[in-house]
Chains A and B, each alone.
Chain A
Amino acid sequence: MLRGELGEAKQFAMEVVSKVGDAVGADELVPIKSAHVLAHYSSLHDAGVEVLERFADSGGRFAVPTSVDPASIDLQNWRSFGIPEDYARQQFRLCDAYARMGGMRCWTCVQYQVCNLPKEGGVVAWAESSAVVFANSVLGSRSNKITAGMDIACAILGLTPRFGMLLDENRRSSVIFKLYLRELTDLDYRSVGFFVGRNAGARVPSLAGLPPSVTSDQIKHLGAGAAAAGPVTMIHFPGITPGSRTTAEASGGEKVEEIEITRSSLSDIESDLNQSSELPDLVAFGVPHLSINELGELAKQLEGRKLKKMVKMYAYTSSQAYDMAERTGISAIIERTGARISHSTDAEISPLKALGFNTVLTNSAKLAEIVSSEGEVKVGYSPQKEIIEKVTS
C-alpha cells in the first residue's frame, strides 16, 4: 500500500517534469542539490492547497534539501496583523502539506542568507525570481526560474530538466551595462537592477561599475529589481560572479552591445515606479526580506522617532533574523517608534487590499512593480531615509 502511495506522488511529479522537459526540448533530467518552492495562499489559491495536499497525501517526500518562499501571513503573529481566520486556515493547510513532505521551515525569499546555500557549480531548482538571480550570479549555482507546481515536482524527484541556464552556452553575457555613478543610495541599487532587467530583455547582462564595497544585501535588492522588470535570471558582476573576472570573460570574448546607466536612467525608473506622493497608510520594507544587518540599520535610522498616526510601518524578514533582532534589542528600538517587524511573510504576497491598505510606500522596486500592475493599491517609491523623514516625527 505504502509502495503504491509513494508511487502515485512520484508518478504525478514525473508527469509534470517530463512534460516540461518535452516542451523545452531538454535532452535529459539531471540531479539537483536543493529545491526552493512556493506555498503561499495568495498565489496558490484553493487549487494550490489541493495540489500540495494531493502530493503529500499520496506519499510525496522531498528528495533533496528544500526551502520555501514566504507565506501569505505572519505564521506567528497573524492575528495581530488582522488576518481573517479562514484565510489563515488555508495558509496553514499549505504549511502542513509542505512540512509533511519534509521541507525546511524557513519561510523566506532569501534562503541563501538563511538556510539553503548551495555550493558553486551545483544545479538547483528554485522558484522565486530574485533568489534565482542570486544563485546564478553570486553563488555560481545553476538554476532556471522554476514555475509553481513544477517546483514541488522537482523537489520530490530530486531532478530537473537540463535546459536554459543549466547550459554553458546560455549563461554567456550578451549585453554590458556600465554604471557611471559614484554614490549609490539604497534606492539606486533597486533602480539599477530594474533598469538592467527592463533593458536586457531575453539577453544575459553584465554589470560593470559597482563600488568594491558592494554588499550581498545590495546585490540581493539589485537582483530582485532586475527580475521584477524582465525575464533576467542571471547578471554577471565582474569580480564577483564565479568565472567572470571581467566583462570580456563574461561574454566569452565576444563584442557585445554596451548600455550606459546614468543618473537620468535611474530618474526615469523612479518616476515610473513612484506613482503616489500621498502620505501612505502602509510603509513596507523588506521585499525581498531584510537581513539582520539591514534590520540593525533600520533601527539606527528610526531610533528616537515616532511613527505618524494613521501610518503603519512593517519591516519584513525571515524568522531567523526576527529571532536575532528580538535577542539583540533591535526589535525593541523599531517597535518603540510604532513600527513592527513581520516574519515568514512578505508584502507582495499579503492580502494588502483586504487588510484595508490603499497606499503603500516602499523602497522596493519589486513591490512597487507588482502593486502598480495590479492597479488596486497606489504605490510610492522612495529611498528609506526619505520615507522615514516623511512618516515619522
Chain B
Amino acid sequence: MKPWLERGRGLVMGSAWGEALVSRGAFTFAHGVDPHTGVVTDIRSDVRGMNVKGKILFYPFGKGSTTASSWFLETVRLENNPAAIVTEAVDLSAVIGSVMARVVYGKEIPVITGVSRTAYSALKSGDKVFLDAGRGEVRAEE
C-alpha cells in the first residue's frame, strides 16, 4: 500500500512497530481473546482465528464486559499481548489494561484513539505499521 500517516490522540505513551491486525467491527478481550495463545476467539469478531500477539491492533470501539481490561492484562502476563492499540472511540479497557501492564509487568503498550475507520480503510492485517503515541502518529509503510 501507499505510505500513509494518520494523527490521533495518544492516551498511553510509547512507540511500537509491527504488523497491523485490523478489526473492522467492535472488539473485546473479555471472552474474546484466549490469553494463553493470543488468538481471537469471539464468534462475532471479523478477525476470529487471528493472533493479537506483537501486533498493532486496530479496532473502532470496545464492547461487552467491563472485565475486558483484566483479560487484556492476562495476555500481558502470558506475553501474548498486542504491541499497541489504536481505536476510533476511547476504549477504557485498553487504557486501564495498558496502565496496569506498565505498573505491574513493566511493559509499555501504547494506546492511541481518535483514528477513524475510514482513515485506515485501506490498511490490511499484515501491513507494517509504526506508531508513536507521544506524537499521536500512526504510519504505514511499504
Whether A16 contacts B100 in the complex (CB less than 8 A), given A43-B70, A148-B69, comes out as: yes
A20-B92, A23-B90, A148-B66 known; A46-B99 Cβ under 8 A: no
Residue in B11, B96, B104 whose beta carbon sits within 8 Å of that of A148 in the complex: B96
Task: Verify B31–A47 contact, CB threshold 8 A.
Answer: no
**1/0 contact string of A40-78 vs chain B (CB within 8 Å):** 000111111011001000000000000000000000000
The residues of A that contact B69 with a CB separation of less than 8 Å are 147-150
Q: Check B44 against A373 for contact (C-beta < 8 Å).
A: yes
Q: Check if B99 sits within 8 Å of A147, measured CB to CB.
A: no
Kindly list chain B residues whose C-beta atoms are within 8 Å of the C-beta of A146: 66
Instruction: Answer yes or no: B30 CB below 8 A from chain A CBs.
Output: yes
* Alpha-carbon distance between A44 and B77 when the two chains are bound, in angstroms: 12
| Given known A43-B67, A44-B67, A149-B73, contact A51–B100 (CB-CB < 8 A) | yes
Would you call A145 an interface residue if the criterion is a C-beta within 8 Å of the partner chain's C-beta atoms? yes
Residue of B nearest to A127 (CB): B66
* Distance from A182 Cβ to chain B, minimum over Cβ atoms (Å): 34
Contact of B103 among A15, A23, A24, A45 (CB under 8 A): A15
Check if A46 sits within 8 Å of B77, measured CB to CB: yes
Contact A19:B12 (CB < 8 A) given known A147-B66, A373-B43:
yes
How many A-B contacts are there with CB distance less than 8 Å?
96
User: Which of A12, A51, A373 has a CB less than 8 Å from the CB of B73?
Assistant: A51
Name the residue in B43, B71, B74, B100 with the highest tally of chain A Cβ atoms < 10 Å from its Cβ: B100
B51 within 8 A of A: no
CB of B37 to closest CB in A, whole Å? 14
Scan B85-122; emit 1 where CB is below 8 A from any A CB, else 0.
Answer: 00000101101110110011000000001000000000
A18's nearest neighbour on chain B, judged by CB, is B99
Whether A342 is near chain B, meaning CB under 8 Å from some CB there, is no
* 19 additional contacts (CB under 8 A) given A20-B92, A48-B70: A23-B92, A43-B67, A45-B73, A46-B74, A48-B73, A51-B70, A51-B100, A54-B104, A127-B66, A129-B66, A145-B66, A147-B92, A147-B93, A148-B96, A150-B69, A150-B96, A370-B65, A373-B43, A375-B43
14 contacting pairs across A/B (C-beta < 8 A): A15-B103, A19-B12, A19-B95, A24-B92, A38-B70, A44-B67, A48-B73, A51-B100, A127-B66, A145-B66, A147-B92, A150-B69, A370-B31, A374-B31
